[in-house]
Amino acid sequence: PNDAKGLLRKPTRSDWNEGDMDVGMVDFDNDGLKDIWLSSSDYPDTWGSLFHQNPDGSFTDVTDVAGAKHYHAHAFAAVDIDGDGDLDLIVATSNARCSGDPKCAPKPVIRVFRNDIGSANNHVKVRLHGKGAGGSNAAGIGAKVTVVSGGVKQVQEVGGGYGHFGLQHDTVLTFGLGGTCAIDEIQVRWPDGKSTVQTFKGVVANYLVDLTEGEELPKYKR
């Protein structure tokens, strides 16, 4: 580019990020506060980033210390793949536009980052079962689940595929409870066309809890 005097100036950098691909708020350490995973893009010199939420609402970049730096990160999914109660991270890669970058993978790869930190805190995992015809869909997609524990209210929604590449997170919802192990109640707003609300009391923490539309009692699995 030329400046006002007609002198040729060299660009300060040879590449730039033209937009991140995907972002999600996930409580990776089960402290009850949502952390952030940001999938970058396939432009040169980009990578996925992990930000930990602090009690004051600020965020700290923990990408390097967590060992989660993944170049040209693209789509991702958060799922408890090892069943220890915390969410692990599965990240895809795109190499469509990073040619010339020495960190550009010769072919797209998928990396799995196992999370061993969140299992130190309490949690509850919720899996919904809609009754089908005349009620909600079988997976409960579109349902809003509210967990109240220790005076703190958390809300999550069961989602289906979304985004540019049809991402799909786990339909099992994981709620971090921190040091609290008592759950006051779990409320489900079912996607049955009437937004029927069902409340479950006395749910036990640190289990996978199956909640079925129209049934009063939860079922527990480790």
* Full residue range of the structural domain in which residue 67 is found: 22-118
Does 114 lie in the same domain as 27? yes
Q: In total, how many domains does the chain have?
A: 2
Per-residue confidence (pLDDT) for residue 212, from 0 to 100: 98
pTM: 0.86
DSSP string, 140-159: -TT-EEEEEETTEEEEEE--
Task: Give the C-alpha separation, 109 to 197, whole Å.
Answer: 42
For residue 2, pLDDT over 80 is answered with no
Residue 71, pLDDT score:
84
Neighbours of 23 (CB within 10 A): 12
- Summarize pLDDT for 162-183 with one digit per residue, the tens: 776 667 889 999 999 999 999 9
Are residues 181 and 137 both part of a single domain? yes
Tell me: the pLDDT tens digits for 13-69?
Answer: 555 556 677 889 999 999 999 999 998 878 777 889 999 999 999 999 999 999 998
Residue 64 CA to residue 70 CA, distance in Å, equals 10
Residue 188 to residues 21, 67, 185, 210: CA-CA distances in angstroms?
31, 36, 10, 12
Q: Is the per-residue pLDDT at 194 higher than 80?
A: yes
pLDDT at 19: 67
Shared domain for 98 and 75, answered yes or no, is yes
Which of 74, 100, 118 is the last residue before a domain boundary?
Answer: 118
